Copies of this chain bind each other. A is one copy, B any other.
Amino acid sequence: MSVQSISTGVASTIEEIQSLIGDRLSTALAVREHHGKDLSHHPLQAPDAVAFAESTEEVAAIVRICARNKTPIIAYGTGTSLEGHITAVQGGICVDVSNMNEILRVGQEDMDVTLQPGVTRKQLNEHLRDMGLFFPVDPGADASLGGMTATRASGTNAVRYGTMRENVLSMTVVMADGKIVRTARRSRKSSAGYDLTRLMVGSEGTLGIITEVTLRLYGIPEAISAAVCTFENLEGAVDTVIQTIQIGIPIARIELLDDVQMDAINKYSGLDYPAKSTLFLEFHGSDHSVKEQAEMVQDLASENGGGDFQFATSTEDRSKLWQARHDAAHSCNALRPGCVLWATDVCVPISRLAECIHETKKDLATASMPAPLVGHVGDGNFHLCFIIDPDKPEEMAEAQTLNGRLIDRALDMDGTCTGEHGVGLGKIAYMEREHGEGISVMRAIKKTLDPDNIMNPGKIISMN
Contacts and interface: CB of A to CB of B under 8 A. Distances in A.
Most buried by B among A165, A194, A247, A437: A194
Contacts of A446: 194
Contacts of A447: 448
Contacts of A351: 107, 109-110
Given A110-B351, A351-B109, A444-B449, A165 B415 contact: no
A2 interface: no
Contact of A440 (B179, B195, B201, B286): B179
Nearest to A442: B194
Contacts of A438: 181-183, 193, 196
Contacts of A454: none
Interface in A402-444: 410-411, 414-423, 427, 430-431, 434-442, 444
Given A182-B438, A196-B442, A199-B199, A421 B219 contact: no
Given A175-B441, A196-B442, A418 B190 contact: yes
Interface string A163-191: 10110000000010001111111111111
A192 B380 contact: no
A350 to B, nearest CB: 6
Contact of A188 (B194, B195, B380, B445): B380
A286 B295 CA distance: 13
A415 B186 contact: yes
A151 interface: yes
B193 A460 contact: yes
B349 A419 contact: no
A288 interface: yes
Interface in A265-310: 286, 288-289, 292
A158 interface: yes
A414 B187 contact: yes
Contact of A418 (B109, B191, B242, B381): B191
Interface in A140-174: 151-154, 158, 162-163, 165-166
Contact of A185 (B221, B286, B415, B448): B415
Interface in A335-359: 345, 347-351
A203 interface: yes
Interface string A243-267: 0011110100000000000000000
Contacts of A228: none
A256 to B, nearest CB: 15
A96 interface: no
A379 interface: yes
A219 B250 CA distance: 12
Contact of A416 (B175, B192, B415): B192
A195 B165 contact: yes
Nearest to A154: B189
Contacts of A187: 347-349, 379-381, 410, 414-416, 419
A198 interface: yes
A67 interface: no
A180 B351 CA distance: 27
A115 interface: no
Given A190-B419, A196-B441, A198-B199, 10 more contacts: A163-B189, A189-B416, A192-B434, A193-B431, A193-B461, A195-B198, A196-B442, A198-B198, A286-B292, A288-B292
20 contacts: A108-B246, A110-B350, A166-B166, A175-B437, A179-B437, A179-B440, A184-B416, A185-B411, A186-B414, A190-B418, A191-B422, A194-B203, A194-B445, A194-B460, A195-B199, A196-B435, A196-B442, A199-B445, A219-B246, A250-B250
Interface of A: 107-112, 151-154, 158, 162-163, 165-166, 175, 179-196, 198-199, 201-203, 207, 218-219, 221, 242, 245-248, 250, 286, 288-289, 292, 345, 347-351, 379-381, 410-411, 414-423, 427, 430-431, 434-442, 444-449, 460-461
